[in-house]
Amino acid sequence: MDSPEHVVFILDDDRGVCDALTTLLSSYDIRSVAFHSAAEYKAYPKPDIPACLLLDVCLPDINGLELQSQLANGDHPEIVFITGHGDIPSSVRAMKAGAIDFLTKPLRASDLMSAINSALEKNRTTRQLKRELAEFRDRFARLTPREKEVLPLVVSGLLNKQAAAELGISEITIRIHRGRIMEKMQAESFAELVRIAGLLAVPVNYSRRQRDG
């Protein structure tokens, strides 16, 4: 059987709700996995695919909002809250913490599917960015110590002669380092190199005012 493109996790202690949601998602050809406690969900090995978590606020072992806080610093799916006892403070807290939506039961299929699709798309984008960032970090690690010194100067917009003066080396040497940096970072253009450096949070310490001063 082919691996699914994405998955929806359902975390609700009401087995009837889980069964109903599983059936609904199946009608949209969406794979789902249901859990009845936070402990079950946390112990389940997550597949490396885009995912969404339908999370009930009231769980037998933990409050759903507290679980959201626990998951915040890890690699977790986007969350759509579902609850039979919604209130404004809870919804505000959930949304401020990054939830995609906060839906009250009984759930409208159209609202639920809209939230799920938004969650899956956001998780897909986030996962792609993480993979891209990991690749950029690997490339950056291949730079020599001197190339790592040159990179911030280059992306700051300094001319070769200015960067050379900053490091006390020749302009020809700067050009060589610059070419090697472009090659190792696999940047097809200066704009691409600047974008990669920005994602890697490479410090840019030289403003136009400093350069022109």
**Does one domain contain both 40 and 90?**
yes
**Does one domain contain both 177 and 83?**
no
E strand map for 12-75: 31-35, 51-56
**Does one domain contain both 72 and 177?**
no
Q: What is the pLDDT of residues 9-32, one digit of tens each?
A: 999 999 999 999 999 999 999 999
Q: Is residue 16 part of a domain?
A: yes
**What burial class does residue 154 get, using C-beta atoms within 10 Å of its C-beta: 0-12 exposed, 13-18 middle, 19+ buried?**
buried
Residue finishing a domain among 103, 131, 159:
131
What CA–CA distance (Å, rounded) separates 135 from 103? 37
Quick check: helix, strand or coil at residue 103?
strand
**What burial class does residue 191 get, using C-beta atoms within 10 Å of its C-beta: 0-12 exposed, 13-18 middle, 19+ buried?**
exposed
**Does one domain contain both 110 and 55?**
yes
104 residue type, one letter: T
Q: Is residue 63 part of a domain?
A: yes
CATH number for the domain that contains residue 89 = 3.40.50.2300
Structure confidence at residue 3 (pLDDT) = 59
Q: Is residue 116 part of a domain?
A: yes
Give the domain extent around 121.
Answer: 7-131
Q: What is the pLDDT of residues 160-183, one digit of tens each?
A: 999 999 999 999 999 999 999 999
Average pLDDT score over residue span 142-159 = 94
Written as six digits, the tokens of 110 are 């159209």
Quick check: helix, strand or coil at residue 8?
strand
CATH number for the domain that contains residue 189 = 1.10.10.10
9: Cα separation from own chain's centroid: 18
What CA–CA distance (Å, rounded) separates 196 from 13? 44
Q: Is residue 23 part of a domain?
A: yes
Q: Give the chain's radius of gyration (CA, Å).
A: 24
Q: How many domains are contained in the chain? A: 2
Q: What is the pLDDT of residues 60-93, one digit of tens each?
A: 999 999 999 999 887 889 999 999 877 889 999 9
**Does one domain contain both 23 and 124?**
yes
98 residue type, one letter: G
**Does one domain contain both 121 and 158?**
no
Residue 97 scores a pLDDT above 80: yes
Residue finishing a domain among 96, 131, 166:
131
Q: Is residue 1 part of a domain?
A: no
Q: Is residue 57 part of a domain?
A: yes
**Does one domain contain both 27 and 99?**
yes
Q: What is the pLDDT of residues 191-207, one digit of tens each?
A: 999 999 999 999 876 54
Q: Can you give the pTM of this predicted structure?
A: 0.77
Structure confidence at residue 41 (pLDDT) = 96
Structure confidence at residue 205 (pLDDT) = 63
**Does one domain contain both 174 and 154?**
yes
Residue finishing a domain among 131, 160, 193:
131
Secondary structure percentages of the chain, helix, strand, coil, to 5: 55, 15, 30
Written as six digits, the tokens of 58 are 């009231």
Cα–Cα distances in angstroms (integers) from residue 213 to residues 39, 51, 64, 203, 209, in the given order:
60, 51, 56, 20, 6
Structure confidence at residue 2 (pLDDT) = 55
Q: Is residue 137 part of a domain?
A: no
Structure confidence at residue 211 (pLDDT) = 46
What strands lie across the sheet with 78-83, from one edge to the other?
Answer: 31-35, 7-11, 51-56, 78-83, 101-104
Q: What is the pLDDT of residues 39-48, one digit of tens each?
A: 999 999 999 9
What CA–CA distance (Å, rounded) separates 59 from 100? 19
Q: Is residue 104 part of a domain?
A: yes
